[in-house]
Structure 1
Amino acid sequence: MHPNVYALAAIALWASLASLGLLLGHVPPFLLTGLALVIGSVPAWPLARRWTVPPGTLALGIYGLFGYHLLLFIGLRHAPAVEANLVNYLWPLLIVVLAPAILPGLRLRAAHVLAAVVGFAGAALAIVGASTGGGVRAGWSWGYLPALGAALAWSTYSLGTRRVRAFPTAAIGLFGLVSGLLALACHWLLEPAVALTGRDWALLAAMGLGPLGAAFFLWDKALKTGDPRQIGVLSYITPLASTLLLLLVSGRALTWSIALAAALIIVAAVVGTRTGAKERTTA
């Protein structure tokens, strides 16, 4: 299967994360993430014999899965949510820009940078266009720093999995389990206890088995066999699809800004993937 198919499958699952998060908005974020990550690791438990990885690789996995969510939650709590989410969605651009610096044998072409910038513009339109405030507020907030840290954490984790010694994708289950337990520890230390209903557990299972479970395994498969520059550009479909699903769930109408965002992201995806295809043809 083509690596971009694995990436698109992960993106499709991540698109449901915001809607599931909306339905579980009453659950404290660390509890939500911790339970979902632990649930997401369960399908890999039968393959626990393949979880043996060097300490550095395990640290990379925890850095990616736990570090990303920790920084993102801090950013969202201490900066306006829309603006912090925009900063967070610099991670696809960072994957494209940092790929040649982290991975040998890759060059940064102008078409890749152009596609990533156009994709970010589309993501910004999608996020801002769907916000209730109707725009981005000016002004500095220190919460933008952890949001930027989250973008850097996810992009460098994604690229870093290609720099460490090859490990089985099943080991993502170990990363998720340890990260989930760390998130639950943060809940115990920082958040109030809550009682969960049967509906909450069903939604948590959907979140864990989908966007905070299977998506990570698919993402790992895509990055191990694909071009991270192409995958980074394709990743801008995530905020667009997430926004469209949120509009559907909330019953809100499609706006011109969302339509324009879709056009920009589609153009970016076509330019980014065609550039990679031309490189392979001329190589």
Structure 2
Amino acid sequence: MTRSRATSIGFIAVLLWALLALFTVGSAPVPPLQLNAMCFAIGGLIGLIWTWKTGGAARLRGVSWKVYAFGTLGLFGYHALYFSALRLAPAAEAGLIAYLWPLLIVLFSGLLPGEKLFAGHIIGGLIGFAGAALIVLNGATGFQGSALPGYGLALLCALTWASYSVLSRRLGAVPTETVAVFCIATAALSLPLHLALEETVWPATTLGWLSCIALGLGPVGLAFYVWDIGVKRGDIQLLGVASYAAPLLSTLALVVAGMAQPSTTLVLAALLISAGAALAAYASAKAT
């Protein structure tokens, strides 16, 4: 598989994560940890079926338990920290801090063997972050001192996903089929936490059930498999900057669905994110 093709496959994850907000709204009133358990169970089951169908089960037996622990902590840790941050701090501000992960991926990737980090990658990441900030902070009330614990968890959230993505590059020989085990283990960890902290609430409508299933198939399912391919074999710096398209596309999806209104802020954010991605792409192209 070529580097450019792997990068394109990895970007499918960004497109799928753009649907996360839309499907999450549709899945109400299911509580977060219950939704986590349901969706990761679906994503993991689909992955296990794919693994069995393609004869990949044999490859899983030779994988170290440390790899499974790493992947499970990455997926479960990110979502547990994210949900906790949004409970302890205003959603917009905590969400913005959590969305430092694409920029952190760009910066951390410079430590990887064989990778070259150019000024265009860093500047592109900063421009993309500015565009994401316009969207995420739209209507925000400002940072509050009482929410510092939540902000701290949001930062840990960003560090967790950036570290998981970059360190996955060091596990290039580990088959993508292992992601199915990561998902099943994440669902298994989410279930007892849900039972301890939340009241079980099932979807009340057909739309709610379809939204939960769609989450498990796409943003909390297939997305992690294609992201694994992208960060292991593709252009990780370009993927990091391009990830800022997720909040933009997510807002556009809500606009199309009639759940949000178009605005000048959205247009400006689109220009910034596009400029940042273009600059990073130029830096990558110049490096080859």
- TM normalised by structure 1 equals 0.93
- The CA deviation string for residues 97-152 of structure 1, in whole angstroms up to 9 with x for no partner, is 11112x112233211110000000000112223xxxx2341323210011111111
The equivalent of 1:212 in structure 2 is: 220
The equivalent of 1:137 in structure 2 is: 142
Distance in 1, Cα, partners of 2:27 & 2:125: 32
**1:20 maps onto 2:29 in alignment:** no
* Matched-pair contact (CA < 8 Å) for 1:93–1:120: yes
- The CA deviation string for residues 180-203 of structure 1, in whole angstroms up to 9 with x for no partner, is 111112101111122344623322
The equivalent of 2:171 in structure 1 is: 164
The equivalent of 2:115 in structure 1 is: 106
- The CA deviation string for residues 79-108 of structure 1, in whole angstroms up to 9 with x for no partner, is 00000000010000000011112x112233
Distance in 1, Cα, partners of 2:227 & 2:110: 19
The equivalent of 1:45 in structure 2 is: 48
Describe how 1:1-283 pairs up with structure 2 within 5 A: 2-46=5-49, 47=51, 49=57, 50-52=59-61, 53-101=63-111, 103-129=112-138, 134-140=139-145, 141=147, 142-164=149-171, 166-197=173-204, 199=206, 200-280=208-288
Alpha-carbon RMSD across the aligned residues, in angstroms, is 1.5
**Mean CA deviation greater in 205-214 or 103-112:** 103-112
* Matched-pair contact (CA < 8 Å) for 2:128–2:244: yes
Kindly provide the amino acid, as one letter, of the partner of residue 137 in structure 1. G
Distance in 2, Cα, partners of 1:28 & 1:44: 24
Distance in 2, Cα, partners of 1:246 & 1:136: 21
Distance in 1, Cα, partners of 2:143 & 2:31: 28
Aligned-residue offset at 1:7: 2.2
Distance in 2, Cα, partners of 1:165 & 1:119: 27
- The CA deviation string for residues 62-93 of structure 1, in whole angstroms up to 9 with x for no partner, is 11110000000110000000000000100000
Distance in 2, Cα, partners of 1:23 & 1:123: 23
- Tell me, which stretches of 5 or more residues in structure 1 are unaligned? none
- The CA deviation string for residues 6-62 of structure 1, in whole angstroms up to 9 with x for no partner, is 122111111000111111231110000111001011222232513332111111111
Kindly provide the amino acid, as one letter, of the partner of residue 98 in structure 2. N
- Tell me, which stretches of 5 or more residues in structure 2 are unaligned? none
Residue aligned with 1:143, SS: helix
Residue aligned with 1:84, SS: helix
Distance in 2, Cα, partners of 1:74 & 1:190: 11
User: Using a 3 Å threshold, how does the CA distance of structure 1 residues 26 and 169 change in structure 2: closer, same or farther?
Assistant: same
* Matched-pair contact (CA < 8 Å) for 1:127–1:243: no
Aligned pair count reads: 275
* Matched-pair contact (CA < 8 Å) for 1:172–1:217: yes
- TM normalised by structure 2 equals 0.91
Aligned-residue offset at 1:251: 4.2
Aligned-residue offset at 1:171: 1.1
Aligned-residue offset at 1:250: 3.5
- The CA deviation string for residues 211-239 of structure 1, in whole angstroms up to 9 with x for no partner, is 00001001011111112111100000011
User: Using a 3 Å threshold, how does the CA distance of structure 1 residues 76 and 165 change in structure 2: closer, same or farther?
Assistant: same
Distance in 2, Cα, partners of 1:138 & 1:201: 35
Kindly provide the amino acid, as one letter, of the partner of residue 30 in structure 1. L
Distance in 1, Cα, partners of 2:18 & 2:29: 20
* Matched-pair contact (CA < 8 Å) for 2:29–2:202: no
